[in-house]
Amino acid sequence: MNASFRPAGNVLSELNRLQNVLDQVFRPAERSSIRALAGDGFPTLNVGTTPETVEIMALAPGLDPGSLQLSVDRGLLVIAGDRKSQLPEPGDRVSVYAQERFSGDFRRVVSLPDDADPGKVDATYRDGILRVVVAKRESSKPRRVEIN
| DSSP 8-state secondary structure symbol assigned to residue 14 | H
- Alpha-carbon gap, residue 54 to 56, rounded angstroms: 7
Compute the average pLDDT of residues 86-114: 79
**Which residues pair with residue 54 across a beta bridge?**
49, 134
pLDDT at residue 88 is higher than 80: no
- Alpha-carbon gap, residue 31 to 39, rounded angstroms: 12
pLDDT at residue 86 is higher than 90: no
CATH class held by domain 32-85+98-139: mainly beta
| End-to-end alpha carbon distance in the chain | 88
Whether this prediction's pTM lies above 0.85 is answered by no
| DSSP 8-state secondary structure symbol assigned to residue 138 | G
Chain CA centroid to CA 54, Å? 16
User: 124, 59 in Cβ contact below 8 A?
Assistant: no
Per-residue confidence (pLDDT) for residue 84, from 0 to 100: 80
Closest alpha carbon to 117 in 47, 52, 33:
52
pLDDT at residue 133 is higher than 90: yes
Spans of all domains in the chain: 32-85+98-139
Q: On the CB side of 91, how many CA atoms lie within 13 Å of its CA?
A: 5
Q: pLDDT class for 117, splitting at 50, 70, 90?
A: very high
pLDDT digit string, tens, across residues 32-75: 444 444 455 788 899 999 989 999 999 988 888 888 999 999 89
